Chains A and B, each alone.
Chain A
Amino acid sequence: MRIHWIAPVFAALATWGGAQAAGEAGTIKTAKGSVTIERAGQKLSAAVGTAVQSADRVLTGANSSVGITLRDHTLLSAGPNSTLELNKYSFDATSHGGELDATVKRGSLSVISGKLAAASPRSVSFHTPTATLGVRGTEFVIEVADREMLP
């Protein structure tokens, strides 16, 4: 019974507090089909409004897609059959300092960079299995072929 009143208290704290819940990186804003978050060994079904945390792995199934807005306004969106690992995320809303490091393991990802890249381009990097991307205030797409299907 304690659990029932703790949840609204935490929700209130989340809206009243200046600091974000630890590790929260962003929120799912669009979702189509099957979207899953893997976190600490658990598989969570994700939908519009689900929070995304640093260290999450986000997966989309066939005919599926997801759009995520990070706290610094980096906009990420993945097409079908994609796997995105949000390795590191931190953002200080006062100084705009922090770090974003993510890997596209497979599939497609569209990126519109936000305040982190605007404040300090070195603070944002993306990876594919083969390459590293440094980002300077910009929009781009990344496509990673399914390694098992490569000739």
Chain B
Amino acid sequence: MTPVLGLALVLVVGLLSRNPAPPPADRVVLLPGPEGKVGKVEVSTREAAITLDDAYRAAHISRSGKIAAHLESEASVRERYGAALEARPPRPVSFLLYFESGRDELAPESLPTVADIKAELAKRPVPEITVVGHTDRVGSVEANDRLALKRAEAMRSLLTARGIEALAIEVAGRGEREPLVPTADEVPEARNRRVEIVIR
């Protein structure tokens, strides 16, 4: 009796000590954005694939490529990834500026925005600015791309003359690609004829 039991015990202990699952090699956790919105990440290995599409959903991936789904929490994520999360750069922000109608001057209502831009720049140690010109849909796409870039360049000059400084100030023209107010083609819309100052 006793020797058989002894043997059985040893076997079980032997099995137990070989069984604990090794920790996952890699993990991916989907996080909610500032307004709680959640995007999507598709994780695939040679063995398996999973789509993460709700907040704190995690993929734990073994060295052999097997994937197990888990649900983390705000607390567990902060504990495990706090250092990476604290190192996140500040999110970029945008301001809109308008020209006075037909002139290379700032519209009067845009003057206070220049002060807001300076305040935002002061908060960032190495801010970079992209001055992005936008147009309405009057004219061809190509002509509007050129016009948008010209407007961005003109606005950059106006801003640097007013003391706006940054690590870098680039220009870009987005033409009619991003209307604030969607319209049919060839319809004038002053609200779309704007310059966006993006600070990153």
Which residues of A are in contact with B by a Cβ distance under 8 Å? 14-15, 17-18, 20, 27-32, 48-49, 65-69, 73, 75, 77-80, 82, 93-95, 108-110, 112-113, 128-145, 147, 150-151
Contacts and interface: CB of A to CB of B under 8 A. Distances in A.
28 contacts: A18-B149, A20-B170, A30-B88, A48-B125, A49-B126, A65-B83, A73-B92, A75-B91, A77-B87, A77-B88, A78-B87, A93-B130, A94-B145, A108-B81, A130-B65, A131-B26, A135-B41, A137-B39, A138-B30, A138-B38, A138-B39, A141-B81, A142-B27, A143-B26, A143-B28, A145-B24, A147-B25, A150-B23
B86 to A, nearest CB: 7
Contact of A110 (B59, B63, B84, B91): B84
B128 interface: yes
A117 B175 CA distance: 20
A91 to B, nearest CB: 10
Contacts of A136: 39-42
Question: What interface size band does chain B fall in?
Answer: 35 or more
B126 A27 contact: yes
Contact of A134 (B42, B85, B172): B42
Interface string B36-58: 00111111110000001000000
Contact of A94 (B25, B77, B90, B175): B175
A20 B62 CA distance: 40
Given A77-B89, A131-B43, A131-B45, A65 B25 contact: no
B6 interface: no
Contacts of A75: 88-89, 91
Interface string B66-108: 0100000000010011111111111110000000000000000
Contact of A140 (B31, B45, B92, B172): B31
A29 B125 contact: yes
A94 B173 contact: yes
Contacts of B169: 15
A147 B31 CA distance: 25
B163 to A, nearest CB: 15
Contacts of A108: 80-81, 83-84
Contacts of A113: 39
B132 interface: yes
Contacts of A29: 89-90, 124-126
B194 interface: no
A109 B85 CA distance: 8
Contacts of A109: 84
B22 interface: yes
A142 B26 contact: yes
The 7 closest A-B pairs by CB, nearest first: A138-B39, A29-B89, A79-B84, A65-B87, A93-B172, A79-B83, A77-B87
A69 B166 CA distance: 15
B176 to A, nearest CB: 12
Contact of B30 (A67, A93, A140): A140
B28 A140 contact: yes
Contact of A32 (B24, B65, B81, B87): B87
Nearest to A146: B25
